[in-house]
Structure 1
Amino acid sequence: MARAYQEAHIMDNLTSSVKDLQTKTAELAKAKGYHEERIKNLTTANAELQKNYDALEIRMKANEHNTTARILNTHLSLSPLPNKNNIPLTPLHALSTNRPIRSFPKHEKDTKTMAAADVIQCLQDLGVPSLGLSAGEKKARLKGEIGLASEERGGAVPGEGEGAAKKEGAAKALSPADKARTNTENAKKAAEVRRKVLEAKQKKMEAEKGKK
């Protein structure tokens, strides 16, 4: 009788111990699942930050190239060379790929005959909004982005019969203004891109610290 009681007591203790172990095992499994999910989320967040960082880096390089290209195109546009319309423009790069824009006009004269779809595509690749603009306004905006001097500001002089020397003088007088406007706009764009790159780097560092 006493032995049976002892065996029953031992079985009760064993059963209780097994239940405790099962409870702890379940808690450990739950904790493991929580940490695995957290690691997964951190990995996803880090991948997204890396993707954004890469995109910003590409955009920054494209902006740097486009700044130089605009200056070269401005010099060509304001050049007194008689054959400047036969000299190719320096292509701008798409901000999302840092590759030459496919529909970019080869020569300055080609901007006048560009299809509307090509103009819109160029503006989109440069990150320039065009919704609500007329066809003429879109072309004018594209010419400004390319770095071409506008006809009104760069070449036309009031009055008919005035000599080529006066027209050339007017173009030269306006050249610094065109350059200053272009350089200021490009400097603002470059500064904004650099700011975003720094923010992306900071977020990436914070995410890596969180993983540790």
Structure 2
Amino acid sequence: MALPRQDAWSADEDIMLAEIVLRHVREGSTQLAAFQEAGEKLSRTAAACGFRWNACIRKKYEAAIELARKHKGSQDKSAAAKQEIDKLVNDNTTTQQEETNVTKSKTKREDISQENKEAMQPKKMAEELNSMVAFLKDLSNYLEHNEAQKADALLEKKKELEQEKEKLDQELNQVKKDFNRLKEDYKALLEVMEKARALSEGALPYLSEDKEMEESS
């Protein structure tokens, strides 16, 4: 036994379900019997057919249902009633087909719109890429300009430091010269003081003799 279908209902299946239900109503049968017959023909459960009829199809065929009930069990008018019901079913079928066509047309337009959007994506990506490249170029030029300015500033600072170093070197050399001069002067002073001390020590004996001579006289 084949398993009952659980996929989506098609427009043709809706029409077949409506025809079966209306025929059972016209013939004085029950909707349950109609749902069972429809389930066998559509490979669906009777419960699924009943739910589909009450939820989605019934409102579209209210006029046909009313007409089928009026002619229920009437044999002499069954042919005319059947024609009228078939006409209503055909009208609903045409309406459904038109709605389906509109839906397909709308879907097609949406697909075309989506295709246009997808076709626009590479162009948009190219524009964004070009904008990014231009930005990177501007950034590179800006950085190069700033780096050049920084390099010039560093060179100027280096030049100033070299001049300052040269000046300090000159001052250091002058300090060294002054220190050496002072050192030489100090050394000469020490020599003079040493000579003076030596002279003073050598003159002491003579000074002592002269003092003794003065005292004896």
Query: Shorter-chain TM-score: what band?
Result: 0.3 to 0.5
TM-score, normalised to structure 1, is: 0.33
TM-score, normalised to structure 2, is: 0.32
The answer to which structure has the higher helix fraction is 2
Which has the greater radius of gyration? 2
